[in-house]
Structure 1
Amino acid sequence: MRLPIGTAAAACDCPECHGPASRVFSSPYLSQLSPATARARSREEQSREAPEVVTSVPSPRRRQQPPHPALQRLPRP
């Protein structure tokens, strides 16, 4: 039986033998992450031990156009 943290009772019966069951704590369901989140998590874990070395300044990103023409008339910093 899976229960969120803090919602499990102190004692519980085994669903198969109906005897007293001990609580078992397990890791969160990381296998159910989206592929993008799993890749980001994996990359972050790898960077703890061997961070990527940057040898040059990244090129500036192109500025996106405002989504509405009225926004183009607003003053820019």
Structure 2
Amino acid sequence: MPLYDFRCAECGLFDASMPMSEVGPSTACPSCGQHAPRAITAPRLGRGASTAMRVHDATARTASDPGVVSGALPGGPRRSSRPVSTDPRHRLLPRP
């Protein structure tokens, strides 16, 4: 359900969660019960704490601040897992 902001003259700003079909230009303040008109605020479009948002932010950050490698990879040099052929005819094959 959407979250709407209302401003009470006595209590100040408060949030109210209600269906879009039931929201009006004003509502009663939960603290004092006075008429509180709806406040105009910026929309809350995303969930900043979600896992998807954190991954998106981390991915975007690598474009401007890439990690710098300062040494060799752990585990030493990597060896190919494929066996090397000793057949001289294989040297004549086209290479990709």
Question: TM-score normalised by the shorter chain: which range applies?
Answer: 0.3 to 0.5
**TM-score normalised by L of structure 2:** 0.31
**TM-score normalised by L of structure 1:** 0.36
Larger relative contact order (Cα-Cα within 8 Å, sequence gap ≥ 6): 2
Structure in which a larger fraction of residues adopt helix? 1
> Which one has a bigger Cα radius of gyration?
2
